[in-house]
Amino acid sequence: MSINCVIINSSPLIVLLKSQQAQLLPQLFTEIIVPLGVFEEVTTKDDAASTLLPNITWIQTVEVNTINPVVAAWDLGKGESQVLSLALKNSDCAAIVDDRAARRCGQALGINTIGTGGLLILAKRRGLIPSISPGIQAIRDAGLWLSDSLVNLLKQQAGE
């Protein structure tokens, strides 16, 4: 199944911006939605991501007024709750989340979820990058914690 629309949470957005890999998003997807709560979370910090995000033209910021009660029951953060609530309403969109609890929630609710590492695999499969290894190191350097076993799994899935 080809994914054209994604709703992205703050953690993946921040590490992609900080690692200078955010340009992969518009190359992979036709619609990139950022809930307003996520936008505010990213832009209230004083870092590279907060400076870059307001100037990106390929994102669509959407206000999320209500959190779906099924999502709220998982007691996730504001951004994760907005991303997953929006994804529940838009079944043709995948949720980009790295938080383990948010991924479990999304999977339990039948939401198509993808993590930052999965984005790199997708980019390699579509010929946008030759290898995921430099990208994984860059997102680790940007602050995303990935266990060695997860990195090995990602590399295996990418055929590296």
Residue-wise pLDDT tens digits, 56-80:
999 999 999 999 999 999 999 999 9
At 67 the pLDDT is: 94
Cα–Cα distance between 11 and 24 in angstroms, integer? 16
Residue-wise pLDDT tens digits, 23-56:
999 999 999 999 999 999 999 988 888 888 888 9
59-62, strands of its sheet edge to edge? 59-62, 31-35, 5-8, 93-96, 113-114
Domains of the chain, first to last: 5-157 (3.40.50.1010)
Average pLDDT over the chain reads: 92
